[in-house]
């Protein structure tokens, strides 16, 4: 393999020196080091996503917990809210630490990896559609690394494990000691599917909305556009969350396939497709508020940092 040293001191392998690809790249004046080096924008995108996630999780966690109870127990929103009220305020924010860690890191990776990957791919190819699809799925797959936090959140929110797990560290240590690391990744397939598809839809609609609105960056515009896009995307892939929660609400049993889980939920819920949308109305409201806050906060932080 030959190596080429650029003026800025960056050394890059020129493995394509004998191929037509290098000629094409040279003619396009593509800066190869830019494909591999991190720039300041990568770090800023990460910080913007991190800050927006903290603001979002703090305000929307109680709503998310009501939705979780609806999905898990198949009860109306009023019943789920009443159960949480009976348990008291002390348990209302039980399990917030995992989503606080998971969402902050997840959104940071989502924004920074998507933008970084998309921009680098656009240097290599003129096919922007391919760049968006690959970047969205790449970011979504990387987000799945944080899945153990989402797994612990599911267990802590489930009333059946209130007495078994005291808090996040206790739940982690118990699962790792008794079942091993693989138990932390139960439900991995639906999470990767959800992340990739939802990222692609969110960023595609987000870019289109900015073009339609003439890149208006006002607070209200960013909130409304983010709220509508986030609520629509979350509703589209809501059944995947139902499957994921039913997978992750189990411990120590045999890992089940997505097809089996879909069949079990369908049979257990009176063989109705509507059962996969139990809690979808409250989820739409939560996502509307959540993604509105995320989008507005992200753009505000981006203005400050950029």
What pLDDT, on a 0 to 100 scale, did the predictor assign at position 134? Answer: 93
DSSP 9: S
In the structure encoding, which two tokens stand for residue 89, read together? 């305020």
Helix axes 238-248, 40-73, angle to 10 degrees: 70
**Sign of the C-alpha dihedral, residues 104, 106, 110, 112?**
positive
Kindly state the average pLDDT of the residues 171-184.
93
70 or 22: which leads in pLDDT: 70
Supply the mean pLDDT for the chain. 82
* Cβ-based neighbours of 34, under 8 Å, separated by 6 or more: 120, 123
**Sign of the C-alpha dihedral, residues 246, 238, 174, 176?**
positive
Helix axes 40-73, 97-124, angle to 10 degrees: 130
What pLDDT, on a 0 to 100 scale, did the predictor assign at position 93? Answer: 81
pLDDT of residue 32 exceeding 70: no
Kindly state the average pLDDT of the residues 272-289.
86
CATH topology of domain 41-305: Mitochondrial carrier fold (1.50.40)
Helix (H, G, I), strand (E, B) or coil at 4: strand
What pLDDT, on a 0 to 100 scale, did the predictor assign at position 212? Answer: 83
pLDDT band at 255 (very low <50, low <70, confident <90, very high): very high
Tell which phi-psi region holds residue 231, choosing left (phi > 0), alpha (psi between -120 and 50) or beta.
Answer: alpha
What pLDDT, on a 0 to 100 scale, did the predictor assign at position 29? Answer: 53
Instruction: Give the separation between CA 75 and CA 78, rounded to whole angstroms.
Output: 8
Domain boundaries, the chain: 1-37, 41-305
Return the closest-CA partner of residue 95 out of 150, 39, 141, 142.
150
Kindly state the average pLDDT of the residues 144-171.
89
What pLDDT, on a 0 to 100 scale, did the predictor assign at position 223? Answer: 93
Kindly state the average pLDDT of the residues 192-213.
90
User: What percent of the chain clears pLDDT 90, i.e. is strictly above it?
Assistant: 32
Kindly state the average pLDDT of the residues 21-32.
48
pLDDT tens string 33-76: 555 555 556 678 888 888 898 888 888 888 888 888 887 777 88
* 281 neighbors 211 (Cβ within 8 angstroms): no
Cβ-based neighbour number of residue 57 at 10 Å = 21
Instruction: Give the separation between CA 174 and CA 171, rounded to whole angstroms.
Output: 5
pLDDT band at 25 (very low <50, low <70, confident <90, very high): very low
User: What percent of the chain clears pLDDT 70, i.e. is strictly above it?
Assistant: 86
42 or 229: which leads in pLDDT: 229
């Amino acid at each position: 393999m030959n190596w080429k040293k650029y003026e800025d001191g960056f050394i890059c392998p020129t493995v394509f020196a004998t191929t037509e690809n290098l000629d094409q790249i040279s003619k396009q004046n593509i800066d190869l080091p830019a494909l591999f080096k991190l720039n300041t924008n990568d770090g800023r995108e990460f910080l913007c996503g991190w800050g927006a996630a903290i603001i979002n999780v703090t305000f929307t966690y109680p709503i998310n917990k009501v939705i979780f109870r609806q999905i898990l127990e198949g009860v109306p929103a009023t019943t789920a809210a009443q159960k949480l009220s009976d348990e008291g305020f002390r348990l209302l924010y039980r399990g917030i630490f995992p989503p606080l860690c998971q969402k902050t890191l997840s959104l940071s990776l989502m924004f920074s990896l998507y933008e970084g990957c998309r921009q680098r791919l656009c240097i290599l190819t003129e096919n922007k559609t391919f760049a968006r699809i690959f970047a969205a799925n790449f970011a979504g797959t990387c987000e799945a690394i944080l899945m153990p936090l989402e797994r612990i959140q599911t267990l802590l929110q489930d009333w059946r494990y209130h007495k078994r797990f005291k808090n996040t560290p206790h739940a982690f240590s118990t699962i790792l000691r008794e079942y091993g690391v693989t138990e932390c990744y139960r439900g991995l397939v639906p999470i990767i599917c959800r992340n990739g598809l939802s990222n692609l839809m969110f960023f595609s609609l987000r870019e289109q909305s900015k073009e339609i609105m003439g890149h208006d960056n006002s607070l209200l515009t960013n909130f409304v556009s983010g709220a509508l896009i986030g609520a629509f995307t979350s509703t589209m892939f809501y059944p995947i969350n139902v499957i994921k929660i039913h997978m992750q609400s189990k411990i120590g049993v045999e890992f089940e396939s997505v097809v089996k889980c879909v069949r079990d939920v369908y049979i257990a819920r009176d063989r109705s497709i509507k059962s996969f949308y139990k809690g979808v109305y409250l989820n739409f409201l939560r996502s509307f508020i959540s993604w509105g806050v995320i989008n507005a906060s992200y753009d505000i932080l981006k203005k400050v940092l950029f």
